[in-house]
Amino acid sequence: MAFSVSTRELESEISSLLQTGVAGNISDFVSWIRMEIQKKFKDEALLSEKDVANFLEKLKSEGELVSGQFDAREYFLASNSKFHKKVQSSDRFFILGRLDFSPLQYVKTRLEYFLRRNLVSEDEIIDISIATLEAVENAAKYGDGTSVEVEYSIDRAKVFTISLLNNIKDFDLEDDIKRGKFSSTATLMRGMMVMQKLFTSVDLEILDDKKQASFKATKQLAK
């Protein structure tokens, strides 16, 4: 049975999303509201894309949001938006690894928001974002579509650390090796070369007993 989202609930969900720093187009926000409802109630959400668009436009007219610099269809927090929260040195959240929930855009914009709030350089943000999206894409492609735990932080030594943990679906190891998806130890997924180049250290482990993939990486930031 689908969950019907009221106008009040929809506005509350959008406000909560904006406080995390995520940014995207109307379709992205619709996907993220659906994801949040699925996480909370284990149910599909029924909502109007028009209602989402109207509320985002209302916030934009009030000066809380601005259009994206590279894509005017996207909504970003204005510099003085009421949705900005106190700068934190760490962030932890769960997403669902289904591509129809737009997890890549969610993680990308939430991560980049976190990094900018912590005054990380734009060049380093680009590197971290590209490498992280490789890891998130792997989690979505090879995961079972359920929860993906994402956690990252910046310590006093200016070391950025990120970890992802997700369940993986059953696969035929020999067949996947032939197709080049995994190494013989089943710990190397597509995109590892990119991640190894852009991060300072990378570790990817398949936890066979738990049917999970654990990804951890660090990057030394400029001091």
**Maximum separation of any 2 CA atoms in the chain, in Å:** 57
Q: Nearest 5°: CA angle at 113, between 108 and 116?
A: 120
Cβ 218 vs Cβ 200: under 8 Å: yes
Between these two residues, 176 and 14, which has the higher pLDDT value? 14
What is the radius of gyration, based on Cα positions, of the chain?
18
Q: Nearest 5°: CA angle at 97, between 139 and 130?
A: 50
Model confidence at 190, pLDDT cuts 50, 70, 90, reads: low
Answer positive or negative: Cα dihedral of 88, 118, 200, 135.
positive
Answer positive or negative: Cα dihedral of 45, 141, 171, 40.
negative
pLDDT at 118 over 70: yes
Q: What's residue 186's pLDDT?
A: 44
Kindly report the backbone phi and psi dihedral angles of residue 33, in degrees, each rounded to the nearest multiple of 5, phi listed first. -65, -45
Range(s) of the chain covered by CATH 3.30.565.10: 86-223
Distance CA 209, CA 156 (A): 35
Altogether, the residues listed in the chain come to a count of 223
Between these two residues, 142 and 24, which has the higher pLDDT value? 24
Q: Could you read off the pLDDT of 51-105 as tens digits, one per residue?
A: 999 999 999 999 999 999 999 999 999 999 999 999 999 999 999 999 999 999 9
What CATH number does the domain located at 1-85 have? 1.10.10.10
Range(s) of the chain covered by CATH 1.10.10.10: 1-85
| Sheet of strand 143-154: strand arrangement | 90-96, 143-154, 159-168, 212-220, 201-207
Distance CA 62, CA 72 (A): 17
User: 45-46 and 3-4 as β-strands: parallel, antiparallel, unpaired?
Assistant: parallel
pLDDT at 1 over 50: yes
Model confidence at 193, pLDDT cuts 50, 70, 90, reads: confident
Domain 86-223 fold is Heat Shock Protein 90 (3.30.565)
The residue to which tokens 């028009």 are assigned: 50
Mean pLDDT of 167-196: 62
Q: Nearest 5°: CA angle at 54, between 96 and 17?
A: 30
Q: Of 181, 71, 194, whose CA–CA distance to 132 is shortest? A: 194
Q: 84-88, 161-165, 171-175, 184-188: which has the minimum mean pLDDT?
A: 184-188
Distance CA 15, CA 113 (A): 16
Q: What's residue 185's pLDDT?
A: 41
Mean pLDDT of 156-176: 82
Q: Could you read off the pLDDT of 19-43 as tens digits, one per residue?
A: 999 999 999 999 999 999 999 988 8
